[in-house]
Structure formats: structure tokens, C-alpha cells
Structure 1
């Protein structure tokens, strides 16, 4: 099932090992394989009264054949708590139960997609990576690219039930890939590490804040909006991303980098883009900005970094 790496319009390549990105033709060819599970991660963040159930209804109406649905808040996040942010990291047992429900075990190849810029799909990609599951990729261009090419759909009917599998074992999430609290983030900064904030520049500078109680950024963080990873709705070529991340990070090694965003979702887009660019090894500050500002005593910076 390992594809030959085809070129496409944006110049990005599909990972032969299915560990970062997969393009539409490759996934179309693989549909129906028993060792493949496609996961629909469409979701709408609750901004301005948006409906958090819209993505699931969209999946029920039409989806990639065989796709199961992963809800950001129900399946890809855990219970709320002090300092955990708006989308807390899920409990390992709960995530393992979701994988069992979806028919995903250690032998399964997974492709995730959404109908936005890939951030929700990247959240699942990173969760699986931290769970020790590396044969997972994101559909480059997502639902928009799939439907634009006239690829096959399941329309107005539920996906076929996933195959029954034994309950997935519950390893601990890889702590080396995660920072779970603000104290760990501050220690990282104090040791000279880089914190890369994936939010839009206006939010980073504190000019606007549509979601969280305080505006600005963690003192010492630098900004690269995650949208900069894309061109024409697809990921930029790996070589371009390598050059851009090297410039943003001042040539620092990936293991010196912690990424964050508003709630630990769009930061995963950076982790995916960096891995695609051969810069794997960065970590996620899971609570992100919403967890940092949960304590009003923590310092906040505004303006450019």
C-alpha cells in the first residue's frame, strides 16, 4: 500500500510511509483495503454562536467512503479542568476506547481529513503519533480537494460499521512529545528553548482575542501563523517548509522547539508541517494560550515578539 510519491500542483509529495501527507489519487486507489481506516474530523469551533455539531451532521450527509467520524471535543479532547485549556489533552483510556470503536489497532493505516485547513485532522494525527501509532497521515487539501476532483462519496447514509477488533491496548501518551502545564513551558523558555505560537498575528500581538479572556502571547514566544504552511489550500512543498521553519526558528533543532496555539489544536498543524519538512522532534504545549491565561497572575506580552 506504500504509494510512489507523485508530484502534484503544489509541489508537495506524499509520504511513502504514510506518516505525514497523502494526496487524493493515492487515497482513492487505497479505498476498500482492510488495513485502511479513514477518519472524518470536520468540526466548527464555537465562535460567534457556531454549532459544534455541524461537522458531524456534514459527515452523516456525505463523507469519504468508509470514513468514521471523530468529534474534536468528544473524541479528540478530554474533560475540562484548571489550566488545561479549551481542548484538554484526552485521557489515554478514553482515546484507546475511541480507537477500538473506530476499528483502529496497531496494524491499521489511518488517513484523517477535515473541511478546513487540516488543523482538526492534524490534531488526530498528533494524538496517534503520541500514542505510538505512526502509520497515520492527513489528506492534503482535505474535503475540498476530495470533492473538487470528483472522488467517490458515501452520500446520505451512515458509514459501514468498522470491523470488530480486540480492545486497543492503553499505553501512556509519550510524555517526551508533550508539555502539559505552564510551569513546564516556563522551564523550557528559561533553558533557552523556542516557543512557536501558531495563532494569527493579530491574536499573537494582542490586537484581537475572540476566544480567551486575555489577549497577547507568552513572553519570549515567537509567531508563525499556521496558515503560512499552506499555499492554495494544500501544504507547501517540503523543501519550502524546511527553509521557512529554519528562518523562523533561527536554525534551532526541532527538539529545542515547543509549539502552541489557542487550545492545542492548530499547533498540531505546525507539528505536521515540520515532520513533512524533515524537522520532526518538536513538542506540543497542550493547554496552549487558553491554559496559560487561566491563571491571571501569569505574565502576558503584547505587540511583536
Structure 2
């Protein structure tokens, strides 16, 4: 096994139980006060042996300041302990999944593991819905914990606010925003104190990466992203969203399409507007 972006439900089923395969359930309730709904669903049933990763508690560090966004990067030592609890070691093949509603939290875990230098990590294409559609087994077993993962987060692969500010004068195509179009245009803003987008950004809603809940073919994704990049190399591109979660979905889509090297602005829109002196754009 050497899955590094996506894996289909039939392919995963064929290797279920293989040595070194670690599954992680990333189901989380997005928004609202019920942040434990995903964990409670995991307790009832999940892919065999899968542990659960909570978006707020395991894949973020909510203690950090507003300038780091609504889902700040987790502390490296704490995240190493989380990976150990999930049974993940440096040589394992990890497959993350969520409910099948876009694989947002699963893509976040995928990205964080890549920041740790862990290449053999993939997202279950179509999530739990795709697994259940082929009759994949479920149980309530849990992984065997391991020592903390020996990691060091590679922050050179994370775009910082200073870089974003320095590039505001560039022609559009260097920054892609994964939020829904009405939020990008500034027509609505249910989560952050200011509506709109970073000047110069182009909109690539994560749902544009999907057809019937699964990722589009790699060739089609490549064609669509190259049209947005306007001739730029992928390594020159920064990906943003509301809080650094759904941007991971666009990165996963680009990597699956063979467009390697884009980086994520981890603080994203929520971190950007924590300083009200920063410019804001609205409209398309």
C-alpha cells in the first residue's frame, strides 16, 4: 500500500486488516454548539479498529490567539500524543475518513500528517457513505495506543500572514479561497465578524472538487485548477478558507491532480480579519 491522496472504498476493503494499515474516523459536526456529535457517532460504530480525531480538540489548538484563526495549528507535542493514541507510527499507511460530506476534517488530518513528513496518508474517497454503499463492515473496536509520534511540524509549508500581505498587489490566481461563493462575495458571513475575502483571491469552493460526494477524476481537477492558476506554478499558490480546514480539501484535490507544492494559509479568513486594519474585498 502506498496511498498518498485518495483511496476508493473497494480498494480499502480489499486491504482491510493488512499489517500497518491504520484507520482514523474524523467525523465532526460542523458549526453549532454540538461539537461532540461526531465522536458520539464513532462510539456507536465505525470502520474496524478506527480511532477518532476531533477537529477542535485533536486537529486544532483553540487556546491560541484570534490572529491564528478559528482552527489554529495544534501544538506539536500535543499532536504527537494524539497520533500515538490513534495508533499511528511513522511507517504506517493511514486512511482518514469522515461522514462523506466533503471529507473536510479528514483532509485536515491528511494535511497535518504531511506537515509531519508522513507521506503514506490518504483520504477515503466518498467517506463513510461510500463505505456503507459497498457493505463495508463496521464495529466498535478501538486502536491499540502507541508512543507519541516522533514528529516535527514543517512550518515552511504553511503560509503566514506576512507573506499574504506582501502579495496583495499580485494579479489574481495566487490565492484560492475554498469557502462557498456567497461567503466569498461577502453576501453572508455566519462565522466571522467581517464578510468578504482577501483582495486578489479567487474562489474555489470545495464542493467544486466533487461529483456525487466523491472527488472528480484527476485530469478534470487538473484542468479546472490550471484555469484558476492562470499560468502560475502550483508551488506559488496559497490556499485559504474560513479557518484553515476546508483549504486542505483544495490542497488534496490539487495533489491528487498532480499539481504539487501549494501551501495553506493556516489562519485564513478568520485570522485575517482579526486585525480590522487589513483590507477586505467583496463581490466576485
Q: Per the shorter chain, which TM-score range?
A: over 0.9
Report the equivalent of 1:168. Answer: 149
- Partner of 2:221, secondary structure, is helix
Instruction: Measure the CA separation in 2 of the matches of 1:113 and 1:196.
Output: 24
Partner of 2:206: 226
Consecutive unaligned residues of structure 2, counting only runs of 5 or more, are: none
- Distance in 2, matches of 1:75 and 1:167, equals 13
Query: Is residue 55 of structure 1 aligned with residue 38 of structure 2?
Result: yes
Aligned to 1:44: 29
Q: In the aligned structure 1, how far is the partner of 2:147 from the partner of 2:132?
A: 34
Match of 1:145 in 2: 130
Q: Which runs of 4+ in 1 moved over 4 A?
A: 190-193
Does structure 1 residue 129 correspond to structure 2 residue 126? no
**Aligned residue number for residue 107 of structure 1:** 91
Q: 2:162 aligned to 183, 195, 203, which one?
A: 183
- Secondary structure class of the residue paired with 2:68: coil
Please report how far the alpha carbon of residue 128 of structure 1 lies from its aligned counterpart in structure 2 after TM superposition: 0.3
- Provide Cα deviations, 1:189-233, integer angstroms capped at 9, x if missing partner: 456670111111110000010100000000111111111000111
Aligned partners of 1:84 and 1:113: how far apart in 2? Answer: 26
The answer to whether the 8 Å contact 1:117/1:233 transfers is yes
Superimposed CA distance per residue, residues 161-185 of structure 1 (whole angstroms, 9 cap, x where no aligned partner): 42x43432132x11221023x2221
Equivalents in 2 of 1:63, 1:225: separation in Å?
A: 28
Q: Give the TM-score, by structure 1 length.
A: 0.89
Structure 2 CA distance for partners of 1:243 and 1:161, relative to 1, 3 Å? closer
Listed as ranges, the gaps of 5+ residues in structure 1 are 3-16
Task: Report how far residue 297 of structure 1 moved.
Answer: 1.2
TM-score, structure 2 as length reference: 0.95
| Selected match of 2:228 from 238, 248, 251 | 248
Q: Supply the distance in 2 between the matched residues of 1:272 and 1:41 (Cα, whole angstroms).
A: 16
TM-superposed CA distance for 1:102, in Å, is 1.2
> What is the alpha-carbon distance in structure 1 between the residues aligned to residue 264 and residue 26 of structure 2?
20
SS of alignment partner, residue 63 of structure 1: coil
How far apart, in 1, do the equivalents of 2:37 and 2:91 lie?
31
Contact 1:189–1:195 (8 Å) recurs in 2: no
Does residue 261 (structure 1) correspond to residue 241 (structure 2)? The answer is yes
Instruction: Note if contact 1:80-1:88 (Cα within 8 Å) is conserved in structure 2.
Output: yes
Contact kept, 8 Å, 1:209 with 1:215, in 2: the verdict is yes
CA shift, 1:100, in A, is 1.1
Contact conserved, 1:229 with 1:235, CA < 8 A, in 2?
yes
